Structure 1
Amino acid sequence: MTEYPSLDRLEALVQGLDAMSRDLGDRLGALAGQTAEGVSDSGLVLVKATTDGAVTDIQLDPRAMRFGSQDLAADVLQAVKRAQDNAAELSKEAVKALLDPVSRAGDQRRYQDEH
């Protein structure tokens, strides 16, 4: 410990923030590679989307080709919306899990500083 304890605490805080920033970047990178699926009510259309909502794959069961064009379009849109909704929920839960330890640590530090 130096003769400037405030400076030591500030340096420790900066190091902790740097480590948290690296961890957050790693986790967000892993999240970006995940996909979610959505299936239409008919079960004949499957769509995959990334966590930012981009559609990466559409799979049509051959039986879906029996639909009229409007019904097929409606099934595809339904599956796309579900995939994007599922991807958004996945992102939301991942970010919540990432930030929850940060907020808990902040609460603990505040408590320790106050007592």
Structure 2
Amino acid sequence: MAKINERESRALLRIVKQNRKRTLSDITGVFNQNRNVSVSRRTVQRKLYSEGYHRHVVKRIRTREINRKNRVNWCRTNRRRTVGHYWKRVIFSDVCEVDIGTDNKVFI
């Protein structure tokens, strides 16, 4: 028999949607407050996984402040460029040349 029925599953999803940054332990604690029989963290984790909620870490590219400002300035100055005036002059190539030097270093 399932530890979490359909109604409790919807309640669990509401708890998760209230604050997506909560830890699994916090979600389990809040979920168990309104229940007669508590469930484990692993049971909650399995239920969330079956509902399509997966843990993932978002990796951020770390850039210095000066580089961020330079990127914003470049975007602002080049936002009016169109395909006809600018990008038709840019040449894209997929050719790759590999040279092996005398000391067996590979240069691409």
Give the TM-score band, short-chain normalised. under 0.3
User: Of the two structures, which has the highest relative contact order with CA contacts closer than 8 Å and spacing of 6 or more?
Assistant: 1
Bigger-Rg structure (1/2): 2
Q: Which has the higher helix share?
A: 1
